[in-house]
């Protein structure tokens, strides 16, 4: 079996005539002739257009928390859309979903819905600026907060372009971002406590918001060092800064209450998407009533599709299932077994490895013993990671081809799936090593 089959290769050539790179998001492009195209998915599996089945550890970049095409979610969506899919009015179901989010997320008192993580973080940043009357945003290198110009800085660039860690250079992640946006961004290495305190002393009274992922969901699931999130909480309170916790990936995935519950941290605002609707287009941002209540009082926020019934219905069904069943606990248990098994395989073959994240969302960096920030991660053996991913995909196991993207598990991944994955990696690690 090759990385992709002939039908994927043919479809890519056709797609490239009408879609840039032949895809609808740059992250779905793996390269010329090696980009896979999907036909269907169910549970923990997906089938490509060549009808090859894979154990899926991409889970649509994290949204699939229950399983692909999960019956109870789909049934709720079908039930609701029969009465209409979009309205210029608010429905009771939206209110119920907002109540459920506020109940489950420790720091959330009021909520607004959105359609994507990009929208959620964009709105949260505007609200933070409006609340503080300040313009500057502080973010951390390697963190991704959506596709808007306000935060698409120092995400994927070669780390040598970031300058010295004591005085980092914010690097735009795309052409087309206005140069003037640079004056509104401060960047720092993730987990750099000393640097964070130094910047607070110099710029604290000018900063509107500090935004961070709790663990680096777009850079190897790098964990926060002990005390780092607590330091952010302390200093943002000291300087009157809004602390935005970007839970687009961790929310309703690593715990029912997300990273707030898992790390026991209470930000001022939090952003959600992905696992909130098990793959349907729904997102949210929320937090303290004092901050959220300024929306509509001189602060603009809205969107035609923010109450789309498929997304809202899916969020309702997903959250209801998370509350009723030990879904996250089951995922974490199986994922931890997979993490531990992979770690043992690498160590048994004499390959240094730094595991990071939790069972529900994890990654590993090869050739290094520890990783605390993107600058550390950049020193790991990306080529070995990609070589292993290629061989795994050829054998029916699909992690992301990009080492930055974590492995994601869903409720439908079975112990047999974990066993098969470990057996495959035990074989391919030996092949790649030699």
Q: What digits encode the pLDDT tens for the residues 176-224?
A: 999 999 999 999 999 999 999 999 999 999 999 999 999 999 999 999 9
What is the Cα–Cα distance from 285 to 123, expressed in whole angstroms?
A: 8
| 377 CB neighbour count, 10 Å cutoff | 25
DSSP string, 45-81: EEEETT--EEEESSGGGTT-SS-BT-HHHHHHHHHHH
Residue 192 annotated as catalytic? no
Listed in sequence order, the DSSP H helices in 59-141 are 71-81, 92-104, 117-132
DSSP string, 329-383: HHHHHHHHHHHHHHHHHHHHTT--EEEEEETTEEEEEET-S---SHHHHTTS-HH
Residue 139 annotated as catalytic? no
Instruction: Kindly give, in sequence order, each residue whose CB lies less than 8 Å from that of residue 14, ignoring residues fewer than 6 positions away.
Output: 22
Task: Find the catalytic residue in 246, 268, 376, 400.
Answer: 246
Task: Find the catalytic residue in 76, 274, 309, 391.
Answer: 274
Domain boundaries, the chain: 6-69+326-433, 71-324
Which pLDDT tens digit goes with each residue over 282-328?
999 999 999 999 999 999 999 999 999 999 999 999 999 999 999 99
Residue 243 is predicted with a pLDDT of 99
Task: Find the catalytic residue in 57, 144, 162, 263.
Answer: 144
The helix or strand, by DSSP H or E, that contains position 285, with its residue range, turns out to be: strand 283-287
Same fold, 6-69+326-433 and 71-324: no
Residue 1 is predicted with a pLDDT of 59
The mean pLDDT of 381-407, rounded to a whole number, is 96
Which pLDDT tens digit goes with each residue over 228-240?
999 999 999 999 9
Residues 117 and 151 sit within 8 Å (Cβ to Cβ): no
For residue 21, pLDDT over 70 is answered with: yes
Vertex 208 angle, CA 204 and 211, to 5°: 95
| 163 CB neighbour count, 10 Å cutoff | 14
Which CATH class, in words, describes the domain spanning 71-324?
alpha beta
Annotation: CATH topology of 6-69+326-433: 3.90.1150
Residue with tokens 């710029």: 203
Share of the chain above pLDDT 90, in %: 98
For residue 53, pLDDT over 70 is answered with: yes
Per the confidence metrics, is the pTM higher than 0.95?
yes
């Amino acid at each position: 079996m090759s990385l992709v089959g002939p039908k994927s290769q043919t479809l890519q050539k056709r797609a490239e005539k009408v879609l840039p790179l032949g895809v609808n998001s740059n992250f779905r492009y793996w390269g010329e002739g090696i980009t896979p195209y999907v036909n269907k998915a169910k549970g923990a599996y997906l089938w490509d257009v060549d009808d090859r089945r894979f154990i899926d550890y991409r889970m649509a970049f994290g949204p699939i928390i229950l399983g692909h095409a999960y019956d109870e979610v789909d049934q709720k969506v079908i039930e609701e859309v029969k009465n209409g899919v979009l309205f210029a009015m608010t429905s009771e179901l939206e209110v119920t979903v907002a109540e459920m989010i506020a109940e489950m997320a420790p720091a959330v008192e009021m909520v607004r819905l959105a359609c994507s993580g990009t929208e959620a973080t964009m709105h949260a940043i505007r609200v933070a600026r409006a609340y503080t009357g300040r313009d500057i945003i502080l973010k951390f290198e390697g963190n991704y907060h959506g596709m808007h110009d306000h935060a698409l800085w120092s995400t994927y660039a070669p780390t040598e372009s970031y300058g010295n860690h004591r005085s980092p250079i914010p690097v735009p992640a795309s052409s087309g971002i206005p140069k003037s946006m640079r004056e509104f961004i401060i960047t720092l290495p993730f987990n750099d406590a000393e640097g964070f305190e130094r910047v607070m002393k110099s710029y604290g009274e000018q900063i509107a918001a500090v935004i961070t992922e709790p663990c680096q969901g777009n850079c190897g699931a790098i964990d926060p060092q002990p005390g780092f999130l607590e330091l952010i909480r302390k200093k943002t309170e000291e300087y009157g800064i809004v602390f935005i916790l970007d839970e687009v990936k961790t929310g309703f995935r690593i715990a029912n209450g997300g990273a707030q519950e898992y790390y026991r941290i209470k930000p001022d605002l939090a952003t959600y998407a992905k696992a909130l609707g098990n793959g349907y287009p729904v997102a949210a941002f929320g937090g303290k009533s004092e901050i959220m209540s300024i929306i509509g009082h001189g602060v603009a926020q809205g969107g035609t599709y923010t109450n789309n019934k498929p997304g809202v219905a899916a969020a309702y069904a997903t959250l209801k299932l998370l509350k009723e069943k030990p879904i996250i606990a089951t995922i974490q248990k199986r994922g931890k077994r997979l993490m531990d098994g992979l770690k043992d395989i690498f160590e048994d073959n004499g390959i240094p490895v730094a595991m990071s994240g939790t069972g529900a969302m994890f990654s590993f960096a090869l050739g290094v013993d520890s990783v605390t920030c993107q600058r550390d991660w950049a020193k790991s053996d990306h080529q070995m990671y990609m070589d292993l991913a290629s061989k795994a995909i050829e054998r029916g196991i699909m992690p992301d081809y990009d080492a930055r993207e974590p492995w994601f598990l869903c409720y439908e991944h079975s112990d047999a799936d974990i066993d098969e994955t470990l057996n495959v990696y035990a074989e391919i690690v030996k092949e790649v090593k030699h």
